[in-house]
Amino acid sequence: MFSDFKMGSALALFQGIFSLLFMYVYLWSGNLIKKGTLKRGIAKKKNIVKNKTTLSLSLAYLIFVVTLIIAPITVIFISAFRNPLTGAFTLSNFAGLMSSKYNYITGVLPIHVIGNSLIFAGITVIFSIIFALLIAYGLRGRFIGKNILLALFMLPLAISPITIALSYIISFQGHPALLNSWIIIPIAHTLIALPFTVRALLPMIETTSVSYVFVAESLGMSRLKAFFSVDLNLIRPALIAAAVFSFAISMGEFGAAYMLYKPFFTTMPIALFRFLSGRHFGIASAMGALLVLASLVAFILIDKLKKEVPII
């Protein structure tokens, strides 16, 4: 299945180069706006009802959103509570997800699938927060080459998760114990979530005054104690946003996990795919509804924090 590594690596290399180039341009243009070299145009607020053109465009946009986003999600929830054969209301689809019986489609107990996703997401949160804090503090301030380093850390945002999985398969093919271990999935999810966590933390860390830390150290605190007592409290909203981002990304990630998983490490998106492949639409809808709920809760939390945290 993964025999042609040379061709795959060549395609991944081209993808990485172009993605890195565009990411650098994005960061460079963002810095120009911050410095005032480029000016953002601020449009005057218009009364939507009085302006027919604006009203028409707003209605068209609303129809577009309802048709392509809200309606499909609503159908998932409706299907989750319907019997696929009779169309009657039922909770059996959700009961199937909580079953303690072996499922031949997923190769593991359905309840274990949910547990796998929650465990992997929790580990991803821990890993991504630790690495994002190290990166954000390392990139604090201005120095030559900062945009290049930041573009490298943003690279997973622009390349395919399958490319990331391929890099692990090639790198660790000589270490089957690691490649076949469960830990490889949260490691991949951490790399995928890292751009979001770094971009959530970096602006707040850069704008946080170091005078609070100096005061804490002058009162006898060690730098490590000041970090946990002062720094983390000052950037708490950004930490929460970064954690929520990484949790939601891990819960919904499919491409890299599908390339790296073993049956016992099946995640919710993989199980959803397998249920759909087996034409078990009811239980697939129930699984999809749980994933949508997890993402919805996550982004409601992010929305509440957006005034305090400048996110991407």
If you average pLDDT over residues 14-41, what whole number do you get?
59
Q: Which burial class, exposed, middle or buried, applies to 44 when counting CB atoms under 10 A from its CB (0-12, 13-18, 19+)? A: exposed
Can you say how many angstroms the Cα of residue 221 is from the centroid of all Cα atoms in its chain?
36
Tell me the pLDDT tens digit for each residue of 287-312.
Answer: 999 999 988 888 787 777 665 555 44
Q: What pLDDT is stored for residue 128 in this prediction?
A: 96
In this model, does residue 247 exceed pLDDT 50? yes
User: In the CATH scheme, what is the homologous superfamily, with its name and number, of domain 103-305?
Assistant: MetI-like (1.10.3720.10)
In this model, does residue 12 exceed pLDDT 60? no
Q: SS3 sequence, 144-198?
A: CCHHHHHHHHHHHHHCCHHHHHHHHHHHCCCCHHHHCCCCHHHHHHHHHHHHHHH
The residue extents of the domains of the chain are: 103-305
CB 194 within 8 A of CB 131: yes
In this model, does residue 20 exceed pLDDT 70? no
Least confident of 16-30, 36-50, 105-119: 36-50
If you average pLDDT over residues 208-215, what whole number do you get?
77
% of the chain residues with pLDDT over 70: 80
Tell me the pLDDT tens digit for each residue of 55-79.
Answer: 888 899 999 999 998 999 999 999 9
How many angstroms separate the CA atoms of 198 and 159, rounded?
A: 17
Q: What pLDDT is stored for residue 298 in this prediction?
A: 81
Q: What is the C-alpha end-to-end distance of the chain, expressed in Å?
A: 37
How many angstroms separate the CA atoms of 51 and 34, rounded?
A: 33
Residue with tokens 């991407």: 312
Q: What pLDDT is stored for residue 1 in this prediction?
A: 47
- What does pLDDT average to over the chain? 82
